[in-house]
Each structure stands twice: as structure tokens, then as C-alpha cells.
A and B are shown apart, each in its own frame.
Chain A
Amino acid sequence: MSAALAATGTARKAAPDRLVVARPGRPGLVTVLRLAAGGGRADRVRIALTAVGAAAAVVALLAAATVAATGADDGPYTSALLNEPGLHPGVVAALVLLCVPVLTFTGQCARIGAPARDRRLATLRLIGATPADVRRIAGAETALAAALGALAGLGAYLLGRALLGTPVIATRSVQREVPLENGDLQFIIESVTGPALQLPTDVLPSWQVIVLGVVAVPLGAGIAGQLALRRVALTPFGLVRAARVRPVRLIPLVAFLAGTAGMAVFSGIIRLLEPPASAAPAIALLFLLLFLLSVTGLIMGTAALASMIGGIVAPRTGRPALLIAARRLRAAPHDASRANAAVLTVVMVAAAVQGYRENLLLATANNTSDVYASGTYLASLALLIGGIVAALGLLVGAVESVLTRRRTLAALVAAGTPTAVLRRAVLLEVLLPLTPAILVSTAAGALAARGLFGTTVQTSGEVVMAEGPVVPVTMIEVPVPWMELGTVAGLALTLTALLTLAVMPLLTRAVDATELRTT
């Protein structure tokens, strides 16, 4: 040790009462939680909706884990889909996918009351909290809400098991194997009436899986909350988001077109290449990648679409509502794409499921088992739920959009703008980019199904009877399920329009003249 350093050390020891700048302390967990939960009404709404979203995600995850744990010896169940272990991976995938719109909805909810929360956090900085403290508080709010929701979700799951655990008398199809004299097997489908469970309430995943499901959601939410603030300058004068003015790119559109075109010709190319059976997993992975490319391109391309629509319409229209909507799309196209992402994903998957359903039902037209019909029915039901949740996210986005602009809107009304004009502007802002995007995503989903499953199917023939096999194989052209696709697109548009209309009473209140008082 040098003499100088030794002297310094001596001096420190010799002067214990000198001013020492201590390492600043960190607020304890209780303080952080109190500050996180100490907001106003908008904060409480945000926390409640985050909890609801987390609860729904946990229920979906635990349901998926339950189906995954269900074996051939469990049951029987009223749903043929649950009685066929081979179909369980599809059910599990559908339940996990259901988490996507749920989590997107939760992400949209995080925007509720954001300006007020930003001011609150800025005040904390003003009174001495460090940026890290503020991030912890913001992250704690999300994680706390999600943790409460996750526990509620676990409770709902266990309660559901108890309530739905009583068997009911149901008629179900059972496939039985009968050996023939020539050594072949004959499959006979019989109807059996007896007690069966509605859901796999007789199966409980391992406790490790349950804990993982319950912990993963709040943990993910907390990390997402931290990530959301990573580009935010947490100053005592307010939270300044380092929002880059992101130019709208055409690359997403190219990705969407490439992905969709690839899916549309997929089975044709695979037939030409005649790959060995061992390549099946790679082929499935390739298709999945094309699907993801298409979905991602569509979602990100919605911003380009919104901007393009705004750019075309705004300079030409003389209608005030259309002008306001188009200019807003042009100015903030990413707002529209964020809100629409989950809806478009659900629509694309739903359209693909309808296409698949058409193939499946034709191919199994002679099969008396209801397993295929009930499978596609359940998938459609799951997608409808996902669609409703996704549309609710859209509603939350519209509410936040109105609330953050309420002073400008109130000033417009004060200047004589009829509220009806603003109502139309809000509706157009949602529907202008969403209508073509829904039509395009429906078409892409249908193309994906036809590309993967082909445009012709081979019938499975008739059920083999004891007198001898009668299996006339025929090739049938699969028609485009226009009605079903129209229903998917129509439902999505109607749902989003209705939910946007639900914002209108709020708009009427938001433009109240009291917003204009300065003194």
C-alpha cells in the first residue's frame, strides 16, 4: 500500500464524524408495492384488467397442461376430441395459442391511464427516487396485478374442476377392432351411452407444471413491464419516451406476400419434390415458418397499410370525419397496427381452420365418428373466444386514444364541431385499416389451408362391414368455403365495429366543456 493511500485510510479512520455520502438506500418491497398500487381510478382499472388477463392466461395454460397430461386410460369424456390422445397436441396448441390474444389484450391494458402514471412516476423522481426505483415500482405494479390474477386463475381452474367433475350420461362413438377370418382387422364404430366427463377433470398435471404456469405469467408480465420502460428517460419533469419516428417500411408487405404465396403453393411443391417420409418434421417446420412470416408481415404491414390509406384519403377528402381519421392514421400508423395485431392473427388462423375443416369433413364424409366435426367445432369456439378477447384489446386501445385526446376533442366541440363528426372519425380510424386487413388475412388463412391440405381430397370410403371390404376411393375437389370465410370476416368486422361503438358514450363524456376550464 502506498504511503498516500495509507494516509488516506488513516484519515478516514481518524475522522468518523465527517460527511460521508452513503450508498443510497432502496425502497423496501412493501414501500414499492404501496407506491405501485397508490394510483387513481385509471390505475386501478389498469391493474384490474391486467389481473383479469393474467387469470385468463393461467386458466388457458393449466387447461393445456391438463389435456397434455391426459392419457388413453383416462376418461371417458363427452368430447370425442378428448377421447383421442392423438388429437391432444392440437388441443394443447389451440389452448396455448389462446394465450396470444389474452396477453395482447393485457398489453393493451397497460396503456390505460399511462399519462397519469407517467406523471406519478415523475413526481417520485422529483422527491428523490432513482430511475431504477421508478422502474421497480412500475414493474412491481404489473407483476403484482399479474400475480393476483394468476392466483385467481388457479382458483378458477380448481373451482372449475370441482364444479364440472361430475360425470353426465352421454352417447359417444367408440371404435372397436374385430379380427376377420382372413387375418385383417375390421374397425367398427359403435354408439355407446354411459357416464362420461365433460372435461378432463379426472386428470391433474404435476404440481411442478402447475407452479410453472402460475409463476410464468406474472414473471413474464413483470419483465414485459420493465422492457416497456427500457427506452424511457425517467426524469423528474416527466417520463420522456425515446420514441423514434419509425418510418413505415414495405418489407412487412413483402414478407406477408412471400409467406402467403409460399403457403399457397406448398403442397404442390412438396408433391413435386417427393421428399422421403423422414423429412416430414422438416416440412412441417417449413410450413410453420411460412405461416409465421405471413402473420408477422401482415401485422407489421398493417402500419404501412394504415399510413398508405391515410396518405391517399387525407389530401383528397372534404369530409371532416374522414379527414381527421385519415390524418391520424397517417400520423400514428403504428397505433393502429398494435391494436389490430391480435384480431388479425385470430382471423387468419380462423380462416385457415375453416379451410382445413372443409377438407376434413369431405375426406371423412363417410366416417360416422363425430371426432372430426367436434374437433373443428372446438377449435372454432376457441378462436371465437380468442377473437372476442382480441377485440376487447382493440376496445381498450380506442378508449385510451379518446382519453388522451380529450382536451383537443373538447376544444373541437367547443368550436362547433358536432360530436357525431368525432364519433364517425373514431369509427373510421378503426375500420379504415382494419377492413382491408381483415379481408386480406381471411384470404391468407384460406390460402394457407388450401396450400397445406390441397384442393382435392381422397374420401376414406365406406366403413368396412363384416361381409367384406367395400372401399371405393374417390377424389373430390374441395370447394372454397365462401360462407364460412365470409362469416369469419363478417364476425370480426361486426365485433370490432360494435366494440368501437361502445366507446362513443365515453367520447361524449370526454368532450365535456369542463375539460376546457383553465381558471
Chain B
Amino acid sequence: MTTNPRPTPSPNAPPQDALLSARALVKSYEHAPALRGVSFSASRGEIVAITGPSGSGKSTLLLCLAGILIPDAGEVRFDGLRLDEASEAERSRLRRTSFGVLFQFGQLVPELSASENVALPLLLGGRPRRAAVAAAGTWLDRFGVSDLGERRPGEVSGGQAQRIAMARAMVTEPQVLFADEPTGALDTLAGEQVMTQLTRVAREAGTTVLLVTHEATIAAYADREVAVRDGMIDTDAFATSTVAR
């Protein structure tokens, strides 16, 4: 059961307007089960927080939804396409064009400048360097870090690096942004600034955001919250979350 303050259809039957949905996902690492029959859906432009304690399976759920991991069982659909059946090349292309991904750390290439890091997905798509760098400058500007274009990741603060990473995740104007603990390595103030900018830009662009976090203050930026515990949707959290909201 998803913990949604708004009415939600049955977990096993994704809503008709769902852009991204999953049904009965099962995933194990060696002999350790990470997901045990999770169903999920997200609509266009929706911001969904996936919460839960460490080891609950929330990151695994995100990676399965992004087509980065293939579930052992169950299905993942994006805009009608079965991601769990798509080839690695198809999923890579999708992640390059329709998805954006944002992690806690280690996502920027340390040797590239901020501008080149942001331009990289466009270069991978065949955009000429000049046009790619120009687009990167625009997105760096939207996240308030245009003056850092020539700096390398090691020369900026954690909050600035995360904003550069957000610009890179959004530069292809993806339909879905997957963010795994995007503020996990930041202090409270920097984390809030990052979330404010992330949600503002995503709402302006109409991007669906799936946000994995274990912090209630970060989850509060989302339209709704899905709690995961022991590889399953935590139904007990629904009541708590609803009452809190």
C-alpha cells in the first residue's frame, strides 16, 4: 500500500495517467532480499518521496524504476515501455534522454570542469560541443552556479557540487528525475537550498521527481510520500505520515 494523502487506486493496478509504474517488484542481492513485491506509480509532474530506514530497499526500488537494476520478478513501465524487458542499450538511451539521475556523491567526473560535466549528457547524445556547453551554461545559471562553470568538482563546496549535478541531471530536460539521497552529504541549510531549487525547477519543467530520502524535512518537499520497510511498502507509515501532514 502506498502512503498517499490523496486517493490512490489499487497498488497492483497502476493508474491510467501513470508515467512510471512498477508492479510486484522482487529483487535480491545474492541471498539478501531487497524488494519483496513492491508496487508503485508516479504521475507526470508529480514529486514523490520514497522514505525508509537504512537497508529498507528504497534505493534498490529507485534503481529498478530507473532501469539501472533489473528486478528478479515483477515489471516496470515507463510511458508504456516495459523497462525490465528492454535491452541495456535501450535503457541507457532512455536514461540519457528521458531520465535524469542524481546521487548523494561521486557523480561528477572530477577531472571535467563543471560546464563539461553538465554538457556531457548532451555530448553523448551527439550535440556539438559549442551548443552543449552553451546549454550547460543556461542550466548552471538556473541553479545559481553559472560562475562556477570552469571550476572542477574538487574546487567547489558540497552544496555547489550538488547544484552542478542537478544541472547535469536536468540538462536533457528529462521526464523523470531520480534522486537518491541528494542532500545526504550536505548540511541542513545547503540541503534545504538544494531541495528548494530542485523542486522549483522540476515544477517549472513539469518533471516527475522520485526522491529517496530518510529525512522527514526533505520528504516534506514532495507531493506525497511512500515509505519502504524490509523491502515492502510500509502500511503503518501511511497513518503516521497522513496524520503528520
Query: If the complex has contacts A516-B68, A519-B55, are A416 and B152 also in contact, measured as CB distance less than 8 A?
Result: no
Query: If the complex has contacts A415-B107, A418-B124, are A519 and B54 also in contact, measured as CB distance less than 8 A?
Result: yes
Give A314's nearest chain B residue, CB to CB: B116
- Within B1-37, the residues touching A (CB, 8 Å) are 29
Q: Is A208 an interface residue when CB atoms closer than 8 A count as contact?
A: no
Give B56's nearest chain A residue, CB to CB: A519
Q: Is A491 an interface residue when CB atoms closer than 8 A count as contact?
A: no
Q: Chain B 197-239 against A: per-residue CB contact (8 Å), 1 yes, 0 no?
A: 0000000000000001010000000000000000000000000
A327 and B116 contact, CB distance less than 8 A:
yes
Query: If the complex has contacts A323-B112, A327-B112, are A516 and B63 also in contact, measured as CB distance less than 8 A?
Result: yes
Bound: A416/B59 CA distance, A? 18
A320 and B123 contact, CB distance less than 8 A:
yes
Q: Which residues of A contact B104 (CB under 8 A)?
A: 518
Give A407's nearest chain B residue, CB to CB: B106
Q: Which residues of A contact B99 (CB under 8 A)?
A: 416
Q: Which residues of B contact A318 (CB under 8 A)?
A: 123, 127-129, 132
A513 and B69 contact, CB distance less than 8 A:
yes
B181 and A513 contact, CB distance less than 8 A:
no
Q: Is B109 an interface residue when CB atoms closer than 8 A count as contact?
A: yes
- Count of chain B residues with Cβ under 8 Å from any Cβ of A? 50
Q: Is B77 an interface residue when CB atoms closer than 8 A count as contact?
A: no
- Within A311-329, the residues touching B (CB, 8 Å) are 314, 316-320, 323-324, 327-328
Q: Which residues of B contact A314 (CB under 8 A)?
A: 116
Set B93, B111, B184: member contacting A324, Cβ < 8 A:
B111
B59 and A332 contact, CB distance less than 8 A:
no
Set A331, A413, A519: member contacting B111, Cβ < 8 A:
A331
B109 and A513 contact, CB distance less than 8 A:
no
Q: Is B58 an interface residue when CB atoms closer than 8 A count as contact?
A: yes
Q: Which residues of B contact A412 (CB under 8 A)?
A: 107, 109, 120
User: Nearest-CB distance from B213 to chain A (Å)?
Assistant: 10
Q: Is B137 an interface residue when CB atoms closer than 8 A count as contact?
A: no
Give B64's nearest chain A residue, CB to CB: A513
User: Nearest-CB distance from B120 to chain A (Å)?
Assistant: 6
A324 and B214 contact, CB distance less than 8 A:
no
Q: Is B41 an interface residue when CB atoms closer than 8 A count as contact?
A: no
Q: Which residues of A contact B66 (CB under 8 A)?
A: 414
Set A411, A417, A519: member contacting B124, Cβ < 8 A:
A417
Bound: A318/B131 CA distance, A? 10
Bound: A181/B96 CA distance, A? 92
Q: Is B121 an interface residue when CB atoms closer than 8 A count as contact?
A: yes
A415 and B129 contact, CB distance less than 8 A:
no
**A327-B111, A331-B111, A418-B92 are known contacts; what are 11 more A-B pairs with Cβ within 8 Å?**
A314-B116, A316-B129, A317-B129, A324-B109, A411-B107, A414-B63, A415-B168, A416-B94, A518-B103, A518-B104, A519-B212
Q: Which residues of B contact A (CB under 8 A)?
A: 29, 52-56, 58-60, 63, 66, 68-69, 89, 92-97, 99-101, 103-104, 106-113, 116, 120-121, 123-124, 127-129, 132, 152, 168-169, 180-181, 184, 212, 214
Can you spell out 12 A-B residue pairs with CB atoms less than 8 angstroms apart? A320-B120, A323-B120, A324-B109, A327-B111, A408-B108, A414-B68, A517-B60, A517-B63, A518-B59, A518-B104, A518-B180, A519-B214
